[in-house]
Structure 1
Amino acid sequence: MEGTGPAPGDAMIRLAGVGKTYADGTVAVHDLHLEVGRGEVVCLVGPSGCGKSTTLKMINRLIEPSTGTIEIDGVDVTRSDPVALRRGIGYVIQQVGLFPHQKVVTNVMTVPLLYGETKATARRRALELMELVGLDPATYADRYPHQLSGGQRQRVGVARALAADPPVLLMDEPFGAVDPVVRVRLQDEFRRLQRDLGKTVVLVTHDLDEAVRMGDRVAVFASGGRLAQLGTPAEVLGRPADDFVADFVGSTRGLRRLSVTMVVAEHLEPLDGVSAGALGAVVEVGSSLEDALAAMLRDDRGVVGVKDGARFVGVLTPNGVHRALRASLAE
């Protein structure tokens, strides 16, 4: 089952009939067809050994495909120089892979220097990127990786991947090594960064919650390297393509849909008889239903106020939450 994808001719990454079979006969990826649009985030999720990381590594030719074609911006990567290809793709992994003997700023400078930038230009770019990912250069530029927390090292890894301003970012379990609170913070920060920069991102994760939080679309892989479903988070959670996907997303998929369905004006009740000042909890238009419902339960008034900037636009009731979930499936 395939959800809304890039418009014809607007795919930044295109995999057609891609497969990987090893010498012992093990099939890691089977006949994969996948397109990722410009500026889109597609998350690959599934059980261990289902071909997610293999797919990612085939895109930048760390692993060579057995069959099929892989294109980036219309160019067949199997016919490209692999070293030049990788220099044009940002790559972020769970272990980060920073050089332990180099300062943070020098780690981020690595790629621009490989491209032949002067040290002054590379350093200026590195300091800008550190600020962009939320690391104050005055505090962190001259530290070494062992002097950083896990979350800070991940931020350095993202900054280094962005240093050459690549159009494509490949990320393999990028936030898996940090604690849950820091992980959510990094996810939010990366989504903000991605919206600002418009990068095309393929992200591998074993965490379904991370996939639905981060992805514009989610690709669910099954054992044997089969793509079981590709769709928006709401589609995957609301209309699983088969029994495998239904089992994988679990019985709590209805609750997960709250996190990917937004509050919009059509699902609100008017403020008739309710003064804005009498409302306790208030959320913004565009907040998730999960945040709105949590605010409603904390306030214990049965409704939550909704505003658009400084203007109150209505109240969200439990019936409104239900209507919003039904509408998200209809869409």
Structure 2
Amino acid sequence: MIRLTRVGKTYPDGTVAVHELDLEVGRGELVCLVGPSGCGKSTTLKMINRLIEPSSGTIEIDGRDVTTSDPVTLRRGIGYVIQQVGLFPHQRIVTNVMTVPLLYGESKAVARERAESLMSLVGLDPATYADRYPHQLSGGQRQRVGVARALAADPPVLLMDEPFGAVDPVVRVRLQEEFLRLQQDLDKTVVLVTHDIDEAVKMGDRVAVFADGGRLAQYATPAELLARPADDFVADFVGSTRGLRRLAVTPIDPALLEPMDGVTAGELGAAVDVDSTLEQALAEMMRQDKAMIGVKDGHRFVGVLTPAGVHHALRASLR
């Protein structure tokens, strides 16, 4: 869906912001760009919609080189969400969300219907919030409006630059989970910039770690990144707790569960859902002070997870 080939950005003073970057993002994939400040991740994002022009290389969306496209037309077909949201303060919330459809020539009635539908989708009741102004909303609510506005033209590509960075940690977690739920339904191709490795491994199907000088240090799934850092820089960046982080990105594998034969209800305590992560299962096991925990698919037990099973699942996730 998105392909960057030997893309570079060098400024007139000789500063290299991005160095010959090769990167592919599959259709419907959510890719996180992460790295220290000044490593070129936001520059890369802005080159995709040509808010910054690349110095070299090609950027393709669906096989079309966007560096030869009209930049205004290009941007209208790409959703863009930034940390500070960028809502028009003098316009009501529903009007903010209607902006791009109106630019495309949609009637006000159709654009408003689309805007109200999207507001509901991101958890803002139009009856309550449509006629409010941005200053009347919390930071988390304004961020939701920003996402709704970016989706208003139903773009196949969504670019997000530190979208949840301006809100408190509790709201941030809720927004992350809400967006992941939306992504399951919308199946957009998303490139998300963050400085937070925990956010990157939670959100991303794949994670691109940038090093100083605009160099791509590693591009991998969260599980592979945490288990097999490409070099000392990546290992230091993901941190010494990367082993624990792997638990949060590794799902339970039903094929590796132990059978229920001979296990009593008293040994198990409460069960976890088969869609849980190893972290969730292990946390529940420790909370209940049990040596094992049952795993359910709906109302049916599918097996038992033990600490040894957690270890086997971690090893199997990298085969």
Shorter chain as normaliser: what TM range? over 0.9
2:280 match: 291
Moved more, 183-192 or 202-211: 183-192
Matches within 5 A, 1:137-216: 137-216=126-205
Deviations 1:61-114 (A, max 9, x none): 000000100011111111000000000000000000001111111110111001
Q: Distance in 2 between matches of 1:67 and 1:185?
A: 39
Give the partner amino acid of 1:47: P
Deviations 1:150-200 (A, max 9, x none): 111110000000000000000000001111111111111111111111100
Secondary structure of the residue that 1:329 maps to in structure 2?
A: coil
1:136 aligns with 2:158: no
Give the partner amino acid of 1:155: R
Deviations 1:105-134 (A, max 9, x none): 111011100111010000000000001111
Contact 1:13/1:71 (8 A) holds in 2:
yes
Contact 2:223/2:250 (8 A) holds in 1:
yes
Give the partner amino acid of 1:210: E
1:259 match: 248
Q: Distance in 2 between matches of 1:143 and 1:225?
A: 41
Contact 2:92/2:132 (8 A) holds in 1:
yes
Q: Distance in 2 between matches of 1:48 and 1:234?
A: 24
Regions of 4+ moved over 6 Å = none
Deviations 1:232-274 (A, max 9, x none): 0001100011111111111100000001100121221112222
Secondary structure of the residue that 1:42 maps to in structure 2?
A: strand
Contact 2:97/2:115 (8 A) holds in 1:
yes
Unaligned runs of 5+ in 1: 1-11
Deviation at 1:277, TM superposition (A): 6.7
Q: Distance in 1 between matches of 2:261 and 2:120?
A: 46
Give the partner amino acid of 2:157: V
| Candidates 22, 38, 41, aligned match of 1:52 | 41
Give the partner amino acid of 1:283: V
Secondary structure of the residue that 2:318 maps to in structure 1?
A: helix
Contact 1:228/1:245 (8 A) holds in 2:
yes
1:228 aligns with 2:239: no
2:258 match: 269
Deviation at 1:147, TM superposition (A): 1.0
How many residue pairs match? The answer is: 319
1:40 aligns with 2:29: yes
Matches within 5 A, 1:7-156: 12-156=1-145
Secondary structure of the residue that 1:241 maps to in structure 2?
A: coil
Q: Distance in 2 between matches of 1:218 and 1:311?
A: 35
Moved more, 221-230 or 311-320: 311-320
Secondary structure of the residue that 1:192 maps to in structure 2?
A: helix
Contact 1:41/1:215 (8 A) holds in 2:
yes
Q: Distance in 1 between matches of 2:313 and 2:244?
A: 13
Matches within 5 A, 1:1-12: 12=1
Q: Distance in 1 between matches of 2:143 and 2:293?
A: 36
Moved more, 259-268 or 271-280: 271-280
Deviation at 1:138, TM superposition (A): 1.0
TM-score normalised by length of structure 1: 0.95
Contact 1:276/1:312 (8 A) holds in 2:
no
Deviation at 1:301, TM superposition (A): 1.1
Unaligned runs of 5+ in 2: none
Percent identity over paired residues = 83
Q: Distance in 1 between matches of 2:124 and 2:89?
A: 18
TM-score normalised by length of structure 2: 0.98
Give the partner amino acid of 1:133: V
